[in-house]
Amino acid sequence: MSKFIIQVNSPAYGSGSSYNAYRFAEAAVQNGHLIDKVFFYQDGVLNTNSFNSPASDEFDLQSAWLSLSQQYKFPLVNCVSAALRRGVLSVSEAQENNTKHWNMEAPFIMGGLGELVTGIESADRLVSF
């Protein structure tokens, strides 16, 4: 049994890597490994934009991340500065920035890059996509 931290650097749509990250995470937990957390960095924060609205016959990567994390109890953490730069805001950042709307909700959470680093420290292996 290994403990993984998974870093996702690509958006939900337009690149295959974040789907690959999801499939890796799914295979890891189904084979008895632990996922410390999934950390969204760079364009990966766009996986957490709740305005993502794929057509009904397309794979909905965001809801797939949500159900996997709920089933296996691992957190989904955004790098807050990478998210803000790309227009992904939770309700509290929306209030701070006086915008009327927000597009990230629980169980996705905002965190600092330090959460990636402490995750790397405690996990057996970082896998980046």
Residues at the contact surface with another protein, assessed by CB under 8 A: 7, 41-42, 81-82, 85, 112-114, 116-118, 120-121, 125-126, 128
CA distance 125 to 4: 5
**For another protein, which is the closer residue by CB, 29 or 82?**
82
For the annotated catalytic residues, the residue numbers are 79
Output the smallest distance, CB 126 to another protein, in A.
5
**For another protein, which is the closer residue by CB, 96 or 121?**
121
Query: What are residue 110's DSSP bridge partners?
Result: 78
Output the smallest distance, CB 41 to another protein, in A.
7
Output the smallest distance, CB 46 to another protein, in A.
13
Whether the CB-CB separation of 4 and 125 falls below 8 Å is answered with yes
Among 41, 51, 40, smallest CA distance to 103 is for: 51
**For another protein, which is the closer residue by CB, 91 or 113?**
113
CA distance 10 to 31: 25
Using DSSP, state whether 42 is helix, strand or coil: helix
